[in-house]
Amino acid sequence: MSIESEAALRELDAALDRSPVSGELADELFSVVDLLQNEPSLRRALTDPATPAERRQALATGLLGSRISDTALTLVVDGVGRRLGATALLDGLERQAVRALLKSAQATGSLDDVEDQLFRFGRVVDGDPELRGAITDRTASLDRRSALVEQLLGGRAAPETVRLAKRALAARDRNFFRTLNGYIELAASTRDRVIATVRVARPLELQQRERLQNALARQIGREIALQEIVEPELIGGIRVEIGDEVIEGTVAGRLEAVRRQFE
């Protein structure tokens, strides 16, 4: 993504941050993304760099003004007026829809639960080959897969968790897990946190989690959201992944390092 596009997406973030958010706003933005995804000619018309921004914005207003709220329309028109390609515009509007849903959860005090539930749901699906196949099979109808998510999470997870898990099924980049992880990262960034994936042989005790979280926060300079994965094959120790950085401290990791020295 170009520097110009990244700047435009940050400005879209700021526009949402100034707006009243709700689950309804998220649904409206998702519907616009779906419309543009399914209508290539409209998508091209709204992102054609040869067309003045004012004309593109007028087209968006004329088509959508009676179909979505003023808040949603303002965000869409804002995005259309910026120099964004078709993919970047869809990505930007989808991002704001997800952020609206997460901010709505934050307002009700359930954002921590949503972040944790999305993470654990992804782990459960990934760890069960039959379930993973059923969830990620894009030859199956979206309605059928959505019904499966509802069966698994309905009444057991926050409403925002269920809605986002269902939305991830449609994954515009065709990868359910990458989309779900993107939602988790947005949930963390909503509170200016960085996700640290922690792999351990045995579950961490509360005091261990707190010490690790505080130590990583001091090192990174930002608050840390820990996502714990138990992998008995690590034998002992801990492995921490923050973005592309890896801190390897497991017994299995040290044994592998020694083994490589003798190859």
Which pLDDT value is given to residue 237? 78
For the entire predicted model, the pTM comes to: 0.85
**214 CB contacts (<8 Å, ≥6 apart)?**
none
First and final CA of the chain: distance in angstroms?
Answer: 41
Give 33-89 pLDDT, tens digit per residue. Answer: 999 999 999 999 999 999 999 999 999 999 999 999 999 999 999 999 998 899 999
Which pLDDT value is given to residue 258? 39
Which pLDDT value is given to residue 234? 76
Which pLDDT value is given to residue 95? 96
Q: How many residues does the chain have?
A: 263
* CATH architecture assigned to 192-261: 3-Layer(aba) Sandwich (3.40)
Give 135-188 pLDDT, tens digit per residue. Answer: 999 999 999 999 999 999 999 999 999 999 999 999 888 899 999 999 999 999
Give 204-253 pLDDT, tens digit per residue. Answer: 888 988 888 888 888 888 888 888 888 888 777 788 888 878 887 765 55
- Token match 């879209």: residue? 12
Q: What is the mean pLDDT of the chain?
A: 90
